[in-house]
C-alpha cells in the first residue's frame, strides 16, 4: 500500500475521531487535534514516520491563515493599529526576551545562551491563537485585536532574529562542529534545522534564499523590490488574471489560481529571505478591497483548516515522552515559568495600552505559550552552534507543552475569568437619578440612532446599556446614559417604566430581548414597545411576546436597497415607493 495514502488516512481519521468529541466537551478543535496527535505518536514512531517533515508541510497553513487575515484588513485599518503593532508588539518581544533571559541566567546559563532562549520564548503560536479566537468569535474584541497586533509583530521580528542569532554562537561548539565536519548540527533532531529552514525562508533556506551572499545594501534593495512586487501585483495583476481564468467557467480552476497566488507569494518571500507568512499577509491586505476577496476566502479556507489541523496533530505527536519522563520536573518548571513570564508581561502592557477589563486576561493567557516559530529558531540556533543539543531538546519539549496548555488557558478564561468580570459589571449598575418618557434598552448602532433622533426632536430619554466602555464614550459627548442590565426589573422601575410612554428594545441578546418584551407587556401593558428583531424567526417570537412594532434591520435595509435599485434602473422615485410599500405591507400582514 502507498505510504502516502496510509498516512493521509491515519491523520484524517484521527482528526475526525477526536475533534467532534473535544468540541462537544467545550475544549475546542485545537485541543482535539493536539490530543489526537498525542495518541498517534507511538503509532507513527512504529511506522518510522518523519513527523517533523510533515509538520513543515503543515505549517503552510499558517501562511494561508495570515493571507485570509490580511483579506479582512484594509490598509487604513492597519494604519490605525500602528501604535499597538509597534508599541504593544515591540515591547512584548523585548520584555519577554529579557525576562526569560534573566530567568535562564539565574539557573546558571551563560548570557548568550540565555538571550537565545529569551528570543525563542518571545514567539507565540499564531496558528493556535488566531484559530481559537476565530472559533470563539473573539477576534474583533479588544483582547483579540491586541493579540493579533502582537502576533503580527512577532512574525515580522523573526527575520532580524534569524540574522542576529548566529552572533551568539558558542566558540567551543563552533570548534567542535569544525572538527566533526559539521555533522553534529545535522544530526540533531533528524535534520530539524534544514527542514525548518526550507519552510520559513530564513538565512538557512537550504538553497532557496538567493540573497544571503549579496552585500547588505543590495540585499535590502532586493527585499524591498520583492515586497513592492507583491503590492503592485496585488493591485494591478490579480484582476486580469482572474478575468482570464473566469473565461473557463470552472470553479476548481479558480481555486487553483487562488492557491497559485498564495504559494507564489510564499516562494518569492523565501527566495529573498523573508517570512512567507508576512508576505502572504501583505498580499491579503492589498487584496482586501478586491471584488474577488470573498471568492478567495471561500476557496482557501478549507485548505487552511486542514493544514492547521495537521500541524496541531504533528505538535502532539512530536512530544518525546521518554525524554519528558527523564526530565519531568525540569521541563514542567520551565514551562510554568515561561507561561508566567509571558502572561505577566502581556498583562502589564495591556494595562499600559488601555486594553480594558477581561480583554487583558484574554491577551495575556492566549499569548502565554511559545509558538511554531520557536521550532524554527531552535533548529536554527542548534545549526549555528548557539545552543547545545541537550538544552535544545528540553526547550523543544517546553515549546510543545506550552502550546498544549494553551487551549486549557482559553478554557480558564471562558469559564472563570470572563464570567467574573461580567458578574462584577452587572452587580454594580449606575444609580439612575432621572426619569423620562422614553426608555432605550441598548445604545449600539440601532438604539443609538433612535436615541439621537428622539433627542433632536425634543424628547427626553433614559438610556440603559451594559457596555461600560460604550457608555464612557457616550458620556464624553454629553449623553445622559446609565450602566446596567435593562432586563432587571429593579433597574426598569428606577428608570421610570411605570410612567414611561415607550420602551425601545435594542439589546444584543435575542433571548433577553424577547423576555424583556414579555415582562413589560405583562406588567406595564400601557407602555408602547418598539423592538429590534434579528431574523424572521425573531419577529414571530417578539410578536408572540406582545410587541406589535417590530423593526428588522436586515428587512428594512433590504427594502430600501430594492427601492434604490429600481430608481437606479430608471424608475421614478415616487413609482418606486409603491412596490416597496406593497412588499412591506405583505410582510406585516403575515404576522396578523
Torsion of CA 152, 155, 157, 162, to 10 degrees: 180
Q: Quote the pLDDT of residue 173.
A: 61
Element (H, E) at 408: helix 389-412
The pTM for the full model equals 0.59
**Per-residue pLDDT for 194 more than 50?**
no
Mean pLDDT of 297-319: 81
Least confident range from 119-123, 368-372, 425-429, 540-544: namely: 425-429
The better pLDDT of the pair 580, 40 is held by 40
**pLDDT, position 468:** 53
Q: What is the mean pLDDT of residues 383-391?
A: 85
Q: Is a pLDDT exceeding 70 seen at residue 433?
A: no
- 104 band by pLDDT with thresholds 50, 70 and 90: very high
Burial category of 414 from C-beta neighbours within 10 Å (exposed 0-12, middle 13-18, buried 19 and up): middle
Name the average pLDDT for the chain.
78
Q: What distance in Å separates the CA atoms of residue 362 and residue 371, rounded to the nearest whole number?
A: 17
SS3 484: coil
pLDDT at 362 (0 to 100): 92
Region of 504 on the Ramachandran plot (φ > 0 left; ψ -120 to 50 alpha; else beta): beta
pLDDT band at 590 (very low <50, low <70, confident <90, very high): low
What confidence tens digit (pLDDT) does each residue in 210-251 have? 666 667 678 778 888 888 888 888 888 888 888 888 788 787
Please check the confidence at residue 199 and state whether its pLDDT lies above 50: no
Higher-pLDDT residue of 120, 307 = 120
pLDDT band with cut points at 50, 70 and 90 for residue 113 = very high
DSSP letters, 493-559, are HHTTTTT-SEEEE--S-HHHHHHHHHHHHHH-TTSEEEEEESSHHHHHHHHHHT--EEEEHHHHHHH
Cα 104 to Cα 271: distance, rounded to the nearest angstrom: 35
Kindly list the strands in the beta sheet with 528-533, ordered across the sheet, starting from the edge strand earlier in the chain: 481-483, 461-465, 438-441, 502-505, 528-533, 549-552
Q: Where is pLDDT greater, at 155 or 16?
A: 16
**Residue closest to 47 by CA, chosen among 1, 8, 2, 3:** 3
Report the distance separating Cα 555 and Cα 549, nearest Å: 14
What DSSP state is assigned to residue 88?
I
Over the stretch 502-511, which tens digit does the pLDDT of each residue have? 888 888 777 7
Cβ neighbourhood burial of 395 (10 Å; 0-12, 13-18, 19+): buried
Residue 201 scores a pLDDT above 50: no
**68-86 exposure pattern, b = at least 16 Cβ within 10 A, e = fewer:** bbbbebeeeebeebeebbe
In this predicted structure, the answer to whether residue 427 has a pLDDT above a threshold of 50 is no
pLDDT at position 398, please? 92
Instruction: Say if strands 549-552 and 502-505 run parallel, antiparallel, or are unpaired.
Output: unpaired
184-195 b/e (C-beta count within 10 Å ≥ 16 → b):
bbbebbebbbbb
Contact (CB, 8 A) for 316 and 41: yes
Q: To which H or E segment does residue 178 belong?
A: helix 171-179
Q: What is the pLDDT of residue 95?
A: 96
> In this predicted structure, what is the pLDDT of residue 96?
95
Instruction: Evaluate whether 458 touches 395 at the Cβ level (below 8 Å).
Output: no
| pLDDT, mean of residues 326-341 | 93
Q: Is the pLDDT of residue 370 over 70?
A: yes
How many C-beta neighbours within 10 Å does residue 219 have? 17
Q: Which residue has the higher pLDDT, 219 or 480?
A: 219
pLDDT of 204 reads 38
Q: Average pLDDT for residues 297-303, to the nearest whole number?
A: 81
Measured CA to CA, the distance from residue 193 to residue 175 in angstroms comes to 19
pLDDT-based confidence at 368, cuts 50/70/90? very high
Task: Give CA–CA dist 34/54, Å, rounded.
Answer: 15
Buried (b) or exposed (e) across 286-319, using 16+ Cβ within 10 A? Answer: bbbebebeebbbebbeebbebbbbbbbbbbbbbb
> Which residues lie closer than 8 Å to 489 by C-beta, 6 or more apart?
519, 523
- pLDDT score for 338: 95
Distance, in Å, from the CA atom of 57 to the CA atom of 79, rounded to the nearest integer, reads 32
Question: Is the per-residue pLDDT at 200 higher than 60?
Answer: no
Q: Is 387 left (phi over 0), alpha (psi -120 to 50) or beta?
A: beta
Quote the strand ranges of 1-144, DSSP E. none
Burial code (b: 16+ CB inside 10 Å, e: under 16) for 241-279 equals ebeebeeeeeeeebbebbeebbeebbebbbbbbbbbbbb
The answer on pLDDT for 279 being more than 60 is: yes
Is the confidence at residue 28, as pLDDT, over 60? yes
Residue closest to 383 by CA, chosen among 211, 229, 203, 148: 203
Confidence of residue 591 (pLDDT cuts 50, 70, 90): low
Contact 315, 34 (CB under 8 A): yes
Question: Which residue(s) pair with 552 in the sheet?
Answer: 533
Q: In the prediction, which pLDDT does 347 show?
A: 95
Q: What is the pLDDT of residue 436?
A: 61
For residues 369 and 128, is the Cβ–Cβ distance under 8 A? yes
Amino acid at each position: 500500500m502507498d505510504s502516502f495514502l496510509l498516512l493521509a488516512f491515519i491523520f484524517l481519521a484521527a482528526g475526525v475521531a477526536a475533534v467532534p468529541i473535544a468540541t462537544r466537551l467545550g475544549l475546542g478543535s485545537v485541543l482535539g487535534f493536539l490530543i489526537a496527535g498525542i495518541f498517534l505518536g507511538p503509532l507513527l514512531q512504529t511506522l518510522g514516520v518523519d513527523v517533523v517533515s510533515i509538520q513543515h508541510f503543515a505549517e503552510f497553513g499558517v501562511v494561508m491563515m495570515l493571507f485570509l487575515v490580511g483579506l479582512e484588513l484594509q490598509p487604513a485599518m492597519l494604519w490605525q493599529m500602528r501604535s499597538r503593532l509597534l508599541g504593544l508588539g515591540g515591547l512584548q518581544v523585548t520584555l519577554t526576551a529579557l525576562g526569560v533571559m534573566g530567568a535562564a541566567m539565574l539557573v546558571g546559563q551563560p548570557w548568550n545562551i540565555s538571550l537565545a532562549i529569551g528570543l525563542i520564548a518571545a514567539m507565540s503560536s499564531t496558528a493556535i491563537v488566531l484559530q481559537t479566537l476565530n472559533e470563539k468569535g473573539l477576534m474583533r474584541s479588544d483582547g483579540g485585536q491586541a493579540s493579533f497586533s502582537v502576533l503580527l509583530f512577532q512574525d515580522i521580528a523573526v527575520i532580524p532574529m534569524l540574522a542576529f542569532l548566529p552572533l551568539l554562537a558558542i566558540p567551543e561548539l563552533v570548534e567542535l562542529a569544525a572538527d566533526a565536519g559539521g555533522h553534529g548540527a545535522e544530526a540533531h533532531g533528524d535534520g530539524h534545522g534544514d527542514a525548518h529552514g526550507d519552510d520559513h525562508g530564513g538565512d538557512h533556506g537550504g538553497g532557496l534564499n538567493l540573497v544571503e551572499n549579496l552585500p547588505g545594501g543590495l540585499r535590502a534593495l532586493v527585499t524591498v523590490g520583492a515586497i513592492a512586487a507583491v503590492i503592485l501585483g496585488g493591485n494591478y495583476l490579480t484582476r486580469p488574471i482572474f478575468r482570464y481564468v473566469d473565461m473557463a467557467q470552472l470553479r476548481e480552476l479558480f481555486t487553483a489560481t487562488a492557491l497559485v497566488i498564495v504559494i507564489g507569494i510564499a516562494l518569492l518571500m523565501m527566495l529573498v529571505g523573508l517570512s512567507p507568512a508576512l508576505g502572504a499577509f501583505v498580499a491579503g491586505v492589498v487584496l482586501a478591497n478586491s471584488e474577488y476577496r470573498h471568492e478567495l476566502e471561500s476557496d482557501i479556507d478549507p485548505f487552511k483548516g486542514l493544514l492547521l489541523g495537521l500541524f496541531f496533530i504533528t505538535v502532539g505527536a512530536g512530544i518525546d515522552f521518554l525524554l519528558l519522563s527523564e526530565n519531568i520536573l525540569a521541563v514542567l518548571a520551565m514551562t510554568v515559568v515561561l507561561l508566567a513570564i509571558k502572561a505577566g508581561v502581556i498583562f502589564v502592557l495591556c494595562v499600559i495600552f488601555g486594553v480594558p477589563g477581561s480583554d487583558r486576561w484574554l491577551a495575556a493567557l492566549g499569548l502565554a505559550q511559545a509558538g511554531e516559530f520557536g521550532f524554527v529558531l531552535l533548529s536554527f540556533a542548534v545549526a549555528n552552534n548557539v545552543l547545545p543539543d541537550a538544552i535544545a531538546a528540553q526547550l523543544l519539549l517546553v515549546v510543545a507543552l506550552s502550546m498544549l496548555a494553551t487551549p486549557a488557558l482559553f478554557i480558564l478564561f471562558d469559564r472563570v475569568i470572563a464570567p467574573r468580570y461580567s458578574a462584577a459589571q452587572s452587580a454594580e449598575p449606575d444609580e439612575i437619578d432621572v426619569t423620562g418618557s422614553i426608555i432605550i434598552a441598548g445604545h449600539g448602532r440601532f438604539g443609538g440612532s433612535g436615541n439621537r433622533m428622539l433627542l433632536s426632536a425634543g424628547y427626553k430619554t433614559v438610556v440603559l446599556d451594559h457596555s461600560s466602555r460604550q457608555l464612557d464614550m457616550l458620556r464624553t459627548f454629553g449623553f445622559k446614559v446609565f450602566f446596567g442590565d435593562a432586563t432587571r426589573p429593579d433597574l426598569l422601575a428606577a428608570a421610570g417604566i411605570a410612567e414611561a410612554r415607550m420602551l425601545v428594545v435594542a439589546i444584543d441578546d435575542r433571548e433577553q430581548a424577547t423576555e424583556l418584551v414579555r415582562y413589560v407587556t405583562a406588567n406595564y401593558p400601557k407602555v408602547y414597545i418598539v423592538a429590534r428583531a434579528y431574523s424572521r424567526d425573531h419577529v414571530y417570537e417578539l410578536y408572540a411576546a406582545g410587541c406589535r412594532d417590530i423593526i428588522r434591520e436586515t428587512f428594512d435595509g433590504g427594502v430600501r436597497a430594492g427601492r434604490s435599485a429600481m430608481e437606479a434602473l430608471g424608475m421614478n422615485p415616487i413609482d418606486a415607493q409603491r412596490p416597496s410599500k406593497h412588499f412591506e405591507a405583505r410582510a406585516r400582514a403575515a404576522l396578523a
